[in-house]
Amino acid sequence: MTSNVAHLPFPALRDAQIHPPMSESDAQFEANRCLYCADAPCMQACPTHIDIPEFIKKIGSGNLTGAAKTILKSNFLGGTCARVCPVEELCEGACVLNKTERPISIGRLQRHATDHLASKGVQPFEPGEPTQKKVLVVGSGPAGLSAAAHLAQLGHEVEIWERKELAGGLSTYGIITLREPIEVAQHEVEMVKALGVKVHTNTELRDSNHLRELAEQYDAVFIGTGLGGVPQLEIPGGEKIVDGLEFISEFKTNPEFALEPQRVAIIGAGNTAIDAATTARQMGAQATVVYRRTPAEMTAFDAEYEFATNFGIEFQFLANPAEVVTDDKGNVTGLRCTRMKTVEAGADGRAGVQPSGEEDIIIPCDLVLSAIGQVKYDDETGFGLNLERGYFATSDFASSGPLSNVFAGGDAIRTRGDASTVMAVQDGKLAAEQIHQYLEGK
């Protein structure tokens, strides 16, 4: 992306954290509050089914390495998930202590254990007995890394192809530093490499012919390529809009990157919109999230919305972007929006919106970011795989279609729209088991 480099207004914020680490005494206190429930609801609510009471018990007895191994056995990216999981909606939301007091801080305890392991440089697992089977994993985001880690532990020879310069996918490029610094994602990549997995960066799966060739060269191929960038908004001046994910990525990977614009408008209402707005705030700009519906229809988690308002991010609801306004030199000066009003809910239960007939508003800004979802696959970009509404069509992670040794997982198959890091990690783990069964001829 093109950017205006200037002095960063609030440099200290680059290293700030939303969930800071716990001290050993705080972790002990918190671990000893846990009731170690049988059939623990927190564990059921975790998509990767980490044995939460078990790892908390180990923290309580001072066995931090053992606690981290319990976590990573179920979720190889436990360090990332400790930071980015919407715990209020998952494990902590299900904790029985919600009924009487506050839930156990499961996410922060998980971070405490996995940070300990990382600081000691301990490699938690060993590669399995060699099977002489070769598996290619395309994409090094959470699904790809998780699949590779499990396949290597099952004894398969695994290579990862990553088209970008650094491995780690969204953990490296798309999660804001306040939540996850890049070093955490890179450490997880190193843990996967330590299992003997070869990671080739700047290496891309090109097209359907290329995939056919690779399916012949390898015993199995796993595709965990996620989705594309943000689609362009077809409004006058839309070409001036910057992809919100690229903006976050630039901030994470380029220490020189700083904002000249002081007022940023962010289009969208999901977690990425809030993350892009948060990054703009971190860089000292005023940030306004613009959404054509009401707060009730936002897809961002409640905790994210609350965090955003506390972080000084402003919101303009019932405002539909209609034009990026520029001055006679082509510099962005505002975002013109049509005022909307709610109408009766549609079949999906979401309140509909339509223009209210009021005068348009102009939100003054020097930069417009977009975070209105990601581009899905089509016949040209889908590597020749069967598609379902723009996602790879799979059954038990095996792609439907003629290439019987090609599997897929993560956001690229997440047709239900509830994509998240932890779901991608679980996909990678389950897909690895399916691939193993396939390679064993079962």
3-state SS class at 265:
strand
Using CB under 6 A as the binding rule, whether residue 303 contacts ligand SF4 is answered as: no
Q: Are the C-beta atoms of residues 240 and 324 closer than 8 Å to each other?
A: yes
45 lines the binding site for ligand SF4 (CB under 6 A): no
Return the range that interacts with ligand SF4 (CB under 6 A); candidates 9-17, 49-57, 63-71, 138-146.
Answer: 49-57
Q: Is 93 in the site for ligand SF4 (CB under 6 A)?
A: no
Residue 340: other Cβ atoms inside 10 A? 20
Judge whether 291 and 40 are in contact, CB under 8 Å: no
Question: With binding defined as CB under 6 A, does residue 104 bind ligand SF4?
Answer: yes
Query: What number of CA atoms fall less than 13 Å from residue 438's CA on the CB side?
Result: 24
97 binds ligand SF4 (CB under 6 A): yes
Nearer to ligand SF4, 194 or 303 (CB): 303
CB of 94 to ligand SF4, least distance (A): 6
Alpha helix positions (H), 181-270: 182-193, 208-217, 244-253
Coil, strand, or helix at residue 180?
A: coil
Q: Decide: is 37 part of the binding site for ligand SF4 (CB under 6 A).
A: yes
Task: List the one residue from 96, 235, 303, 393 that touches ligand SF4 (CB under 6 A).
Answer: 96
State in angstroms the smallest separation of the CB of 42 from ligand SF4.
3
Residues with Cβ within 8 Å of residue 250, at least 6 apart in sequence: 1, 3, 257
Q: Is the dihedral of CA 145, 421, 139, 154 positive or negative?
A: positive
Residue 34 lies near ligand SF4 (rule: CB under 6 A): yes
Asked if 29 interacts with ligand SF4 (CB under 6 A), we say no
Q: Is 314 exposed, middle or buried (0-12, 13-18, 19+ CB in 10 A)?
A: middle
**From 14, 19, 28, 41, residue interacting with ligand SF4 (rule: CB under 6 A):** 41
> Exactly one of 47, 53, 321, 410 binds ligand SF4 (CB under 6 A); which one?
53
Question: How many C-beta atoms lie closer than 10 Å to residue 39's C-beta?
Answer: 7
How far is Cα 185 from Cα 132, in angstroms, rounded to an integer? Answer: 29
We find the least distance from the C-beta atom of residue 84 to ligand SF4, in angstroms, to be: 19
Query: Is-contact 211 396, C-beta < 8 A?
Result: no
Residue span binding ligand SF4 (CB under 6 A) among the ranges 52-60, 73-81, 245-253, 407-415: 52-60
Query: Under the criterion CB under 6 A, does residue 95 sit at the interface with ligand SF4?
Result: yes
Stretch that binds ligand SF4, among 33-41, 64-72, 172-180, 280-288 (CB under 6 A): 33-41
Q: How far apart are CA 59 and CA 65, in angstroms?
A: 9
Work out which of 68, 85, 106, 176 binds ligand SF4, going by CB under 6 A. Answer: 106
Give me the least distance between CB of 52 and ligand SF4, in Å please. 5
* Tokens found for residue 437: 């069964």
* Residues of this chain that bind ligand SF4 (CB under 6 A): 34-37, 40-42, 52-53, 56, 95-97, 104, 106
